[in-house]
A and B are shown apart, each in its own frame.
Chain A
Amino acid sequence: MSEEKKDFFVSDISLSYQYTAGNATTRFLNKVAEGKLVAQKCPKCSAVYVPPRGSCPRCGVATEEELELPDTGAVESFTIVHIPIPGNPIVPPYVSAMIRLDGADISFLHLIQEIDLADIRIGMRVQAVWKDKSDWGTTLENIKWFKPTGEDDVDPSVFKFKE
Chain B
Amino acid sequence: MKDIYILAYAQNPIVADAKAANEVELIMPVVHQVFKQTGFTQNDIGFTCSGSCDYLQGAAFAFVEGLSAIQTNPPIKESHVEMDAAWALYESILKIQMGDAETALIYGFGKSSPGDLPFVSTLQTDPYYMSPLWPDKTSLAALQAQLLMNNGLLTKKDMYEALTQSISNAKNNPNALVTAMPSEDDYLSADYLSSPLSTYDCAPISDGASAMIIGTEEAAAKLGLQKIKISSVHHSIETSNFGARDLSTSESIIGLGKKINLKSFNLDFAELHTQFSYEIPFIRGLLDLGNIDINLSGGPLAGNVMMAAGLDSIGKSFELLKNSDFHNGLAHASSGPCLQQNMLVHLEKIND
Query: When A and B form their complex, what is the total count of cross-chain residue pairs whose Cβ atoms lie within 8 Å?
Result: 80
**In the complex, A55→B26 CA distance in Å?**
11
> Do A12 and B132 have beta carbons less than 8 Å apart?
yes
Q: Chain A nearest CB: distance from B351 CB in Å?
A: 35
**In the complex, A6→B101 CA distance in Å?**
51
Does chain B have a CB within 8 A of A88?
Answer: no
Does chain A have a CB within 8 A of B236?
Answer: no
B-side contacts of A26, CB under 8 Å: 20
**In the complex, A21→B18 CA distance in Å?**
11
Does chain B have a CB within 8 A of A150?
Answer: no
Does chain A have a CB within 8 A of B67?
Answer: yes
- In the complex where A21-B22, A54-B25 touch, is A60 in contact with B42 (Cβ < 8 A)? yes
> Do B22 and A62 have beta carbons less than 8 Å apart?
no
Which chain B residues have a beta carbon within 8 Å of chain A's beta carbons? Answer: 18-22, 24-25, 28, 31, 42, 55, 57-59, 65, 67-73, 113-116, 119-120, 123, 127, 131-132
Task: Count chain B CB atoms within 10 A of each CB in A15, A20, A57, A60 and give the residue with the most.
Answer: A60
- In the complex where A19-B114, A57-B67 touch, is A11 in contact with B28 (Cβ < 8 A)? no
> Do A59 and B71 have beta carbons less than 8 Å apart?
yes
- In the complex where A22-B22, A53-B68, A58-B73 touch, is A11 in contact with B120 (Cβ < 8 A)? no
Which chain A residues have a beta carbon within 8 Å of chain B's beta carbons? Answer: 11-13, 15-26, 53-55, 57-62
B-side contacts of A54, CB under 8 Å: 22, 24-25, 28
**SS class, residues of chain A in contact with chain B:** mixed
> Which residue of B18, B22, B25, B120 is within 8 Å of A15 (Cβ)?
B120
**In the complex, A13→B28 CA distance in Å?**
32
Give the top 5 A-B pairs by smallest Cβ distance, nearest first: A22-B22, A60-B71, A58-B73, A17-B58, A57-B68
B-side contacts of A20, CB under 8 Å: 18-22, 114
**In the complex, A23→B123 CA distance in Å?**
29
- In the complex where A11-B132, A55-B24, A59-B73 touch, is A19 in contact with B57 (Cβ < 8 A)? yes
**In the complex, A58→B69 CA distance in Å?**
9
**In the complex, A59→B58 CA distance in Å?**
27
B-side contacts of A62, CB under 8 Å: 25, 28
**In the complex, A18→B207 CA distance in Å?**
14
Q: Chain A nearest CB: distance from B238 CB in Å?
A: 24
**In the complex, A61→B247 CA distance in Å?**
46
B-side contacts of A57, CB under 8 Å: 67-68, 72
Task: Count chain B CB atoms within 10 A of each CB in A15, A16, A24, A25 and give the residue with the most.
Answer: A15
Residue contacts A-B, CB under 8 angstroms, 26 given = A11-B132, A13-B123, A15-B55, A15-B115, A15-B119, A17-B114, A17-B115, A18-B113, A18-B115, A20-B114, A21-B22, A23-B25, A24-B22, A25-B22, A53-B22, A53-B24, A53-B65, A53-B68, A55-B28, A57-B67, A57-B68, A58-B72, A60-B31, A60-B42, A61-B28, A62-B28
A-side contacts of B22, CB under 8 Å: 20-25, 53-54
Q: Chain B nearest CB: distance from A15 CB in Å?
A: 6
> Which residue of B18, B55, B72, B115 is within 8 Å of A60 (Cβ)?
B72
Q: Chain B nearest CB: distance from A65 CB in Å?
A: 16
**In the complex, A61→B71 CA distance in Å?**
7
> Do B57 and A17 have beta carbons less than 8 Å apart?
yes
**In the complex, A62→B57 CA distance in Å?**
22
Q: Chain A nearest CB: distance from B46 CB in Å?
A: 16
> Which residue of A11, A17, A19, A21 is within 8 Å of B131 (Cβ)?
A11
A-side contacts of B57, CB under 8 Å: 17, 19
**In the complex, A110→B99 CA distance in Å?**
45
B-side contacts of A19, CB under 8 Å: 57-59, 114
Q: Chain A nearest CB: distance from B223 CB in Å?
A: 21
Q: Chain A nearest CB: distance from B111 CB in Å?
A: 8
> Do A15 and B21 have beta carbons less than 8 Å apart?
no
**In the complex, A60→B32 CA distance in Å?**
9
